């Protein structure tokens, strides 16, 4: 199946098994809520109207039942500091697509490559609130990150 076919095959309600092997990154900033790393899988888009800084914030994992997103710092350092090295990846995670964004021309998001297709996903064991504005995480299908995406099942559409 070609890359264009892969972009079109996903739909809201699909369950996916997603993973990404841990990759060594540099810690750029630490807050009580997240660890920001220098993102190696995208380049700053010099023609973008969005001024992306080449970094991505990864929430600290929590034990309070909240889903922090796909990427994890592994192992999660107890007291990370700026310029520390860390490993960032996606442990095998079963997610459900809650929205699909298709862009022609590709979306101006601040980095290259500009995405044609972005999936909004949420862990299947996390309840989906259709009214929540910033729920889930984004999977950019054009990313250079070595993300493995496997379609597990189709059609778990929720009706509001």
Would you place residue 110 in the very low, low, confident or very high pLDDT band (cuts 50, 70, 90)?
A: very high
Decide: 52 and 45 in contact? Cβ < 8 Å: yes
Model confidence pTM above 0.75:
yes
Cα–Cα separations (whole angstroms), residue 6 to 14, 46, 118: 13, 28, 12
Q: Residues near 139 by Cβ (< 8 Å), separated by ≥ 6?
A: 18, 70, 118, 119, 120, 121, 147, 149
- Whether 155 has a pLDDT exceeding 80, the answer reads no
Per-residue pLDDT of 7-50, as tens digits, reads: 458 999 999 999 999 999 999 999 888 899 999 999 999 999 99
pLDDT at 92: 95
Among 57-66, 80-89, 115-124, the minimum mean pLDDT is found in 57-66
Of residues 133 and 95, the one with the higher pLDDT is: 95
Q: Which of 37-41, 93-97, 124-128, 139-143 has the lowest mean pLDDT?
A: 124-128
What DSSP assignment string belongs to 25-37?
A: EEEEEE-SSEEEE
| Under 8 Å between Cβ of 95 and 123 | yes
- Asked whether residue 2 carries a pLDDT value surpassing 50, the answer given is no
């Amino acid at each position: 199946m070609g890359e264009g076919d892969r972009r079109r095959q996903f739909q809201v309600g699909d369950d996916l098994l997603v993973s990404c092997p841990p990759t060594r990154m540099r810690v750029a900033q630490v807050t009580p809520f997240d660890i920001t790393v220098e993102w190696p899988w995208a380049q700053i888009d010099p023609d973008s109207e969005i001024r992306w800084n080449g970094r991505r914030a990864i929430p600290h994992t929590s034990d309070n039942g909240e889903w922090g997103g796909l990427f994890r710092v592994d192992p999660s350092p107890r007291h990370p500091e700026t310029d520390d090295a860390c490993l960032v990846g996606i442990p095998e995670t079963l997610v459900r697509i809650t929205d699909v964004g298709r862009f022609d021309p590709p979306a101006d998001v601040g980095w290259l490559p500009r995405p044609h297709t972005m999936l909004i996903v949420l862990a299947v064991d996390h309840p989906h609130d259709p009214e929540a504005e910033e729920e889930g995480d984004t999977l950019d299908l054009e990313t250079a990150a070595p993300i493995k995406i496997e379609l597990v099942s189709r059609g778990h559409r929720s009706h509001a």
